[in-house]
Amino acid sequence: MDQQSLFLCLCFLFFVLVFLYIWLSTSKTTGKNLPPSPRKLPIIGNLHQVNQDPHISLRSLAKRYGPVMQLHFGSVPVLVVSSADAAKEIMKTHDLAFANRPNSSIWDGIFYNGKDVVFAPYSEYWRQVKSICVLQLLSNKRVRSFQIVREEEVALLVEKIKESGSKPVNLSELFYALLSNVVSRIALGRKYGITTEGGKDNSFKELFQNIAQLIGYFSVGDYIPWLFWVDSLNGLKGRVEKASTEVDVFLEGVIRDHSVALDNGASSDDLLYNLLEIQKQNTNSAFSIDKDSIKGVILNMFFDGTDTTSAVLEWTMAALIKHPDIMRKLQNEVRDIGRGKSTISGDDLENMHYLKAVIKESMRIYTPVPLLVAREAMQDVNVMGYDIKAGTQVLINAWAIATDPTLWDNPEEFIPERFLNNPVDYKGLHFEFIPFGAGRRGCPGIQYAMAINELALANLVHIFDFALPDGKRFEDLDMTAETGMTLHKKSPLLAIATSRV
């Protein structure tokens, strides 16, 4: 046997021994009652069974192995929850035990190493910054105080659509711009970023959509540490570094503008101004925030307030256009309540019950974040009779729960009426419908998101009739989704809007 053949044989033997060692070491029985699990491969575990649409592939696996199953992503145990009862145990019964976030090189790289709100580990720091965000931006009182901002920006949206005349408009772009402008004004004090439809450079939108994709990816190095180099080889590490650099340049400029104004005695009521004031006042206290903390929090508010919220509006309008009978029913309600008015105000929304049902049904079928942001067990805990060890990651498939035929009649059909005279709501108390999550790590921006989406949708259906361009039939509208943590339409929503007001 020549030296080359001997070398190849030794390499093969080495890898066989490595495979056997990892297989045996991760397959040891512990005597505990573990959740059912599909067979895993050496090294990669069950990663090969999760495709580019994880919420869909995980629902398929759950149909075979049950609503509580355990996978292994590399060497990391991952609990996948696909039932309302199990979600309730995670987010209510054992909420504190599962309040942590797992380590993620992607999240850390973009969101300042856990100094934000959404991806930060459970700690006193997280509790403090979440409290600041709720108090300064997301409480019911604060959301109501921003009504004039919402109404002004929706009025500008309406005017832009009217200017298009009989030409098709890109509603996806316009919705993203609307939410970007609203969150800019209330969080940063003025508009930053993108414009639409033949206007300025829209690289800002592209940056945030790129981030939405990145945070939905699996990093090989996070699950198989000794294969960390794969993230460099496949370009993931470079994309994360590029996105984080671009975000940091933007946020540095925003903070610099505010800091100069603050030093010159200016006063404002936006979130960033208040964060800078807290930073100045609390430098010697037990809790303090630095510049990275401010950047992380602002990035959260800007990203979540734009990306996921615009996705809900995009899917809801697409569903209405695809179902003209539902569109007419909604228009009848809104136009009856808004009779004699050129626009709908925030005060008109309270009695628009069908409008609220339409948005709920849209979030049920097109759950904005189908797999809620991952959690991690901080201690050993028993869930639905199964023993879950500390360090286990938890993925809650909110979309699978929202389309569970044992909970919903005709779950694949768009039927807003199911939410009329129905107490089920999205605020985290009904675990068959959790588009915003629940418990300590539930989204604190529910009221903000619903206020702007209800106002925008009501005005659009009040003022415009919609048709598809090029004579396309409503039923032919493409509803294919794009991969990422946030569920967006793969193709932009183009429509011809005819004004009736």
| Three-class DSSP labels, 316-339 | HHHHHHHCHHHHHHHHHHHHHHCC
* Residue type for position 221: G
Is 228 in contact with 206 (CB distance < 8 Å)?
no
Domains with residue ranges and CATH for the chain: 3-7+46-499 (1.10.630.10)
Residue 174 CB coordination number (10 Å): 26
Strand 76-81 to 68-73 pairing: antiparallel
Cβ-proximal residues to 232 (8 Å cutoff; 6+ apart), any chain? 238
Supply the pTM of this predicted model: 0.90
Strand 386-388 to 381-383 pairing: antiparallel
Mean pLDDT of the chain: 89
**Could you report how far apart the first and last alpha carbons of the chain are, in Å?**
87
State mean pLDDT over 468-473. 89
Strand 393-396 to 76-81 pairing: parallel
pLDDT at position 86 over 70: yes
State mean pLDDT over 219-242. 93
Which residue from 401, 446, 410, 455 is spatially nearest to 428, judged by alpha carbons?
446
Give the containing element (helix H, strand E) for 105. Answer: helix 105-110
**pLDDT of 200:** 47
Is 67 in contact with 83 (CB distance < 8 Å)?
yes
Note the pLDDT tens digit of each residue in 352-399.
999 999 999 999 999 999 999 999 999 999 999 999 999 999 999 999
Whole-number Å distance between alpha carbons of 401 and 408: 9
Per-residue pLDDT band for 289 (boundaries 50, 70, 90) equals confident
**pLDDT of 198:** 46
What are the distances in angstroms from CA 263 to CA 188, 237, 360? Answer: 16, 38, 45
Strand 464-467 to 386-388 pairing: unpaired
Q: Per the annotation, does 11 bind a ligand?
A: no
Is 389 in contact with 380 (CB distance < 8 Å)?
yes
**pLDDT of 269:** 77
Whole-number Å distance between alpha carbons of 434 and 429: 8
DSSP summary character for residue 289: -
Cβ-proximal residues to 222 (8 Å cutoff; 6+ apart), any chain? 74, 76, 103, 104, 105, 106
Note the pLDDT tens digit of each residue in 204-213.
678 888 888 8
Side-by-side strand order, sheet with 494-499: 169-170, 494-499, 464-467
Whole-number Å distance between alpha carbons of 233 and 160: 44
State mean pLDDT over 61-68. 96
